[in-house]
Amino acid sequence: MTDELAVLGIECFGHHGVFDFEKRDGQTFVVDLVLGLDTARAAQSDDLRDTLDYGTLVNSVKAAVESEPVDLIETLAQRIASVCLTDGRVEWARVSVHKPDAPIEATFADVTLTITRTQEGTRD
């Protein structure tokens, strides 16, 4: 059985985008994570060592977003999914990257890309 752990609205500041000004000036990115893992052992033991430490994971995700710039949010989302899957207990990761300040010449609320990756590296 797989349970779901969600951490939503992780705000990060990164320098990603196709345009030079995006890389130079940076902008806010918001990340949502939904992770599939079995939490039964942790529920029984009540011990953090038996589950995913989501505080540490959030720090790692922020570091991934705030590191070396990439052009596409597709690349950024894959980077974040890879970070989530470094813990073998995470069976799959659904990562949403929001780019609310994307350089679009129209009124819009958000740009979001959502990907799902598994330990096997395939799409769900």
DSSP at 19: S
The verdict on whether 23 is a catalytic residue reads: no
Determine contact, residues 17/103, Cβ cutoff 8 Å.
Answer: yes
Handedness of CA 88, 89, 92, 94 (dihedral sign): negative
Choosing from 16, 62, 94, 99, the catalytic residue is 99
**C-alpha angle with apex 81: 78 to 86, nearest 5 degrees?**
125
Q: How far is CA 43 from the centre of its chain?
A: 25
Q: So which residues are the catalytic ones?
A: 99
